[in-house]
Amino acid sequence: MDRLAETALIGGERSDAMDHCLAGITRLSGEVKDASGYIPPYDQRTYGEAIKALQEKLEETRKSHAPKPKFSFKSKSPSALSLSDAAELAAEKRRAVPGYLSPSPNASFVNTPSYINTPANERAHDEQDSLHEENEQPRQEGKPAGTTNTETKAQSPPADPAQESDRPSLSTTTTSTSISNQSGTHIILPSSAPNTRTPCSLSKLSGCVVDLSVPTTATAPFASITITSVSSSLVLCGSVSGPAHITGVKSSVLVLKCRQFRMHDCENVDVYLHCTSRPIIENCKGIRFAVLPKFHSDLISTSQEDPSAVPNQWNQIDDFKWLSPDKPSPNWSLLPAEDSVPDETWREIVPGGPGWSVGDILKAVGVGSTASGAANGS
């Protein structure tokens, strides 16, 4: 925490560092809870006070280093966020920086550090140059600065709706959270995200690591989550108080706690699940289920209710495409213990950091090998 002041605000590095500190404190709290059976009461009280002091220190540090914005808007439309993030993505492609999608200064998401700092004023200079050129052209034509050429605009072709829908989009507001059209990025929803008691949607993701667990365990769970068209990705959904609808997911790993689980048209997916009702799959194959990893279960039990308070029916699967009561469904199975991701991987590698690329994280959790593992299991 003492080094937080040395981290840069550019690229969301300071916010990302604070999220890692929060996850570490939560992990320590879970470890103390697990050791309560053999630690003397005095030591338990001492450790509890130390953890509380760390939490208070982190909150004080967060407030002391919080930037003071010159102005703010009450709300921001998803389209504005999409254009900003798309512009930043284009700038990174010009600089040939692979791997991460750095957020704009106004974006609501943070990513793991790219370790190549993006100049904060580069896009501002580009916008100033564009505005300067726009004003210079009317002067050359004998028109006052600020006037527009309506004839040129009239001749411009209209924007293609299909292209607009394919733009990268990261949006979190007081009414919803959505991520779409991402490839090869590591996205972490920060603990400072707006109200998470809202619906969340993920769509059109490929080769990504998406971690939504921090705010849903630190504050409140999502009201619901919808995941569509995701391939070769790791998605940590955190806690969902309502239903989870998963459609068109292939060769991926999902981690979530929810009240209702519905999966359609999915193939070769490993699901680490805590569900308080019977999960339902339909038109799926190669789906393997496992209990929620201990690391994530500890996060949820430490910050919210104890998951053991309500029966966990993670392995009571109903396959609507297999109605034979005498034979088990060939479309799903339990994930073998030898294929499960070790708890230290969830704790040390999945959060990212120096030396861990998106590809390294996906390989560590078995993305890319889920297809062969599911085939062997069936």
Q: Residue 322 in contact with residue 331, Cβ under 8 Å?
A: yes
What span, in angstroms and rounded, lies between the C-alpha atoms of 20 and 28? 12
- Token pair in block for residue 244: 């989870």
Residues 43 and 184 in one domain: no
At 341-365, the pLDDT tens digits run 999 999 899 988 778 899 999 999 9
pLDDT of residue 169: 72
- SS3 state of residue 189: coil
- Residue that terminates a domain, selected from 31, 64, 97: 64
Task: Give mean pLDDT, residues 6-29.
Answer: 71
Amino acid at 187: I
Residues 46 and 181 in one domain: no
Where residue 23 falls among pLDDT bands split at 50, 70, 90?
confident
**Is residue 134 situated within a structural domain?**
no
Segment among 128-142, 166-180, 243-257, 363-377 with least mean pLDDT: 128-142
What span, in angstroms and rounded, lies between the C-alpha atoms of 282 and 50? 48
* b/e per residue 261-277 (b: at least 16 CB within 10 A): bbbbbbbbbbbbbbbbe
**Is residue 138 situated within a structural domain?**
no
- Strands (DSSP E) found in the chain: 110-111, 169-172, 177-183, 186-188, 199-206, 209-211, 224-231, 234-239, 243-258, 260-264, 267-275, 280-282, 285-291, 318-319, 332-334
pLDDT of residue 219: 61
- Residue that terminates a domain, selected from 47, 64, 81: 64
pLDDT above 60: residue 329: yes
pLDDT of residue 153: 42
Where residue 214 falls among pLDDT bands split at 50, 70, 90?
confident
Segment among 36-40, 126-130, 204-208, 348-352 with least mean pLDDT: 126-130
Give the ranges where 65-77 is alpha helix by DSSP (H).
Answer: none
Residues 59 and 178 in one domain: no
- β-pairing, 318-319 vs 209-211, is unpaired
Report which listed range, 206-215, 217-226, 240-249, is most confident. Answer: 240-249
What span, in angstroms and rounded, lies between the C-alpha atoms of 143 and 135? 9
Query: What is the gyration radius of the CA atoms in the chain, in angstroms?
Result: 23
Where residue 52 falls among pLDDT bands split at 50, 70, 90?
confident
pLDDT above 90: residue 33: no
At 170-190, the pLDDT tens digits run 777 778 889 999 999 999 888
What span, in angstroms and rounded, lies between the C-alpha atoms of 283 and 37? 45
What span, in angstroms and rounded, lies between the C-alpha atoms of 34 and 48? 13
Q: Residue 261 in contact with residue 280, Cβ under 8 Å?
A: yes
**Is residue 11 situated within a structural domain?**
yes
**Is residue 83 situated within a structural domain?**
no
Judged by phi (left if over 0) then psi (alpha if -120 to 50, else beta), residue 39 lies in beta
**Is residue 82 situated within a structural domain?**
no
What span, in angstroms and rounded, lies between the C-alpha atoms of 331 and 336? 15
Q: Residue 107 in contact with residue 11, Cβ under 8 Å?
A: no
| Better-scored residue on pLDDT, 254 or 116 | 254
CATH code, domain carrying 234: 2.160.20.70
pLDDT above 70: residue 127: no
Q: How far is CA 195 from each of CA 12, 147, 176, 189, 218, rounded to the nearest angstrom?
A: 19, 42, 8, 12, 11
**Is residue 335 situated within a structural domain?**
yes
DSSP 200-248: EEEEEEES-EEE-HHHHHHT--BSEEEEEEEES-EEEEEEBSSEEEEEE
Where residue 249 falls among pLDDT bands split at 50, 70, 90?
very high
**Is residue 129 situated within a structural domain?**
no
Where residue 97 falls among pLDDT bands split at 50, 70, 90?
very low
- What is the residue-averaged pLDDT of the chain? 74
pTM: 0.58
Query: Domain count of the chain?
Result: 2
| Better-scored residue on pLDDT, 273 or 16 | 273
Phi, psi of 162 (to 5 degrees): -65, -40
Domain assignment of residue 270, given as a range: 171-377
- Residue that terminates a domain, selected from 34, 64, 94: 64
pLDDT of residue 326: 85
Report which listed range, 5-19, 210-224, 247-261, 362-376, is most confident. Answer: 247-261
pLDDT above 80: residue 28: no
pLDDT of residue 282: 96
**Is residue 91 situated within a structural domain?**
no
pLDDT above 60: residue 315: yes
